[in-house]
C-alpha cells in the first residue's frame, strides 16, 4: 500500500467513527480535533442561523461557510466535495431551490449512508450523495455551475488531481468556493507526521502561497481569498510540539494556521475536457 492509500485509510477510518457516533466524539475525531483532550472545534463555524441548516447533518467538521460566498443561484447544479452527513449540501439546496440539483461526494461509505438518510428524512428529491474520491469524482464533465468544499482538500493526498477533477466537472464559466486550512509557516516534521492530527486537518495543510499556486496551475482564473481567519491553537497543543522559542515564532502576526475561503473560476474559453 502506498503512502497516499495509507493516508486515505486513516481519514476514512476517522470519519467512519464520526458517522457512527456523531458530535459526541468530536474532540477525538473532528476535522480539526486530535487524539488528546484538547478541544479544537474552534475551527468549526456556527450554521444554526442559516436557511437549510439541519442539526442531524452538522457534525462540526468544517472550518468555514463556503456557501456564504459561493454565489449560488436558483436552479444551479452544485457539487460538494467531501459532503459528510450533508450539512453544506442542505444549505446549498435552500439557495438552488427545487429547480436546482445538489450532489455530495464523499469517500466514506458510512458518511454517504448517513447523508442519504438525512436527505430522505427531509424529503429532498434533488439532493443526492455519491461514494467516491475527490481525485476521481463520479460526476460528469462540464456539469456543475458551482463547486463547494469545507475543510476537505487539506485531507486529500493528491491535491493537484483533486483540483484537476474540480476543473473537469465545472462548466466553462463555473466557479468554486472552498473553505480550507493553510499555514503561513512550515510546520515541524514531528507535527506534520502525526497521523491523527493529519486526519484532523492541520498537518495536511499547505503553505498559503503553494495552495494558491496549485489552484492557478490547474487552470483557474480570478483566484482570490474571500475570507481569512487565524486559528488560535490551545497552549497545551503548542507545548506538545514546540519549544518556547518556536511557540513565540508561531504566534508571530504573519505565522500560524489559517482558515481561508477561496474563490476561483473556470475560464469561459476552457476547452472541452470530455
SS (H, E, C) 147-191: EEEECCHHHCCCHHHHHHHHHHHEEEEEEEEEEEEEECCCCCHHH
Cell of 254: 504573519
Whether 116 has a pLDDT exceeding 70, the answer reads: yes
What dihedral angle (degrees, nearest 10) is formed by the CA atoms of 217, 172, 69, 201? -40
272/56: higher pLDDT: 56
Query: If you search the block for the grid coordinates 450532489, which residue do you land on?
Result: 103
**Full-model pTM:** 0.85
Q: Give dist(CA 196, CA 208) in Å, integer.
A: 22
Q: Output the pLDDT for position 248.
A: 78
Those residues whose C-beta lies under 8 Å from the C-beta of residue 192, and which sit 6 or more positions away, are 198, 203
CA-CA distance, 189 to 79, in Å (whole number)?
A: 34
pLDDT-derived band at 33 (thresholds 50, 70, 90) equals very low
CATH of 3-265, one of 1.10.10.10, 3.40.50.880, 3.40.50.150, 3.10.450.50: 3.40.50.150
Nearest to 233 by CA among 274, 273, 203, 199: 203
pLDDT band at 63 (very low <50, low <70, confident <90, very high): confident
C-alpha cell read off for 238: 503548542
Maximum separation of any 2 CA atoms in the chain, in Å: 56
Distance between CA atoms of residues 206 and 5, nearest Å: 19
pLDDT at 1 exceeding the cut of 70: no
Give residue 253's pLDDT. 60
pLDDT digits (tens, 9 = 90+) for 10-27: 666 766 676 566 554 444
Is 209's pLDDT higher than 80?
Answer: yes
Confidence of residue 224 (pLDDT cuts 50, 70, 90): very high
pLDDT at position 163: 98
Band the pLDDT of 200: cuts 50, 70, 90.
low
Q: How many CB atoms lie within 10 A of CB 5?
A: 10
Amino acid at each position: 500500500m502506498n503512502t497516499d492509500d495509507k493516508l486515505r485509510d486513516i481519514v476514512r477510518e476517522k470519519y467512519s467513527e464520526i458517522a457512527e457516533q456523531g458530535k459526541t466524539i468530536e474532540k477525538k475525531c473532528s476535522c480539526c480535533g486530535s487524539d488528546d483532550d484538547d478541544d479544537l472545534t474552534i475551527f468549526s463555524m456556527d450554521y444554526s442561523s442559516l436557511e437549510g441548516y439541519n442539526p442531524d447533518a452538522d457534525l462540526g467538521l468544517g472550518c468555514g461557510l463556503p456557501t456564504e460566498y459561493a454565489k449560488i443561484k436558483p436552479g444551479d447544479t452544485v457539487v460538494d466535495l467531501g459532503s459528510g452527513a450533508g450539512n453544506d449540501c442542505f444549505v446549498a439546496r435552500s439557495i438552488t431551490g427545487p429547480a436546482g440539483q445538489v450532489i455530495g461526494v464523499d469517500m466514506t461509505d458510512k458518511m454517504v449512508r448517513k447523508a442519504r438518510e438525512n436527505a430522505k428524512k427531509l424529503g429532498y428529491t434533488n439532493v443526492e450523495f455519491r461514494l467516491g474520491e475527490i481525485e476521481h469524482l463520479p460526476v460528469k464533465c462540464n456539469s456543475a455551475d458551482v463547486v463547494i468544499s469545507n475543510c476537505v482538500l487539506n485531507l486529500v493526498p493528491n491535491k493537484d488531481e483533486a483540483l484537476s477533477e474540480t476543473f473537469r466537472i465545472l462548466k466553462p464559466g463555473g466557479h468554486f468556493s472552498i473553505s480550507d486550512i493553510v499555514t503561513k509557516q512550515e510546520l515541524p516534521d514531528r507535527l506534520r507526521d502525526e497521523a491523527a492530527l493529519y486526519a484532523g486537518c492541520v498537518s495536511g495543510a499547505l503553505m498559503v502561497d503553494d495552495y494558491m499556486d496549485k489552484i492557478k496551475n490547474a487552470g483557474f482564473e480570478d483566484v482570490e481569498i474571500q475570507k481569512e481567519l487565524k486559528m488560535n491553537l490551545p497552549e497545551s497543543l503548542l507545548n506538545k510540539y514546540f519549544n518556547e522559542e518556536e511557540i513565540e515564532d508561531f504566534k508571530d502576526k504573519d505565522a500560524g494556521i489559517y482558515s481561508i475561503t477561496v474563490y476561483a473560476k473556470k475560464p469561459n474559453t476552457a476547452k472541452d475536457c470530455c
